[in-house]
Amino acid sequence: WGRVSPSYGYAQAQPPAWKDFERAMGRSGSRDNYADAIMFIGWYTAGTQRQLGISKWDAYNQYLAYHEGRGGFARNTYRGKPWLMQVARKVQQQSQTYGAQLAQCR
pLDDT, one tens digit per residue, over 9-68 is 999 999 999 999 999 999 999 999 999 999 999 999 999 999 999 999 999 999 999 999
Q: In DSSP terms, which residues pair with 8 in a beta bridge? A: 13
Residues 59, 92, single domain; the answer is yes
Over the range 5-19, which residues count as b (16 or more CB within 10 Å of their CB) and which as e?
A: eeeebbbebeeebbe
Domains: count for the chain = 2
Residue 18 lies in a domain: yes
Q: Which domain does 35 fall in, by range?
A: 7-53
Residue 1 lies in a domain: no
Residues 29, 47, single domain; the answer is yes
- Model-wide pTM > 0.85: yes
Residues 67, 90, single domain; the answer is yes
Q: Please calculate the CA angle 45-105-38 and round it to the nearest 5 degrees.
A: 25
Q: Is there a contact between 52 and 65 (Cβ–Cβ < 8 Å)?
A: yes
Q: What's the length of the chain?
A: 106
> For the chain, how far is it from start to end, CA to CA, in angstroms?
47
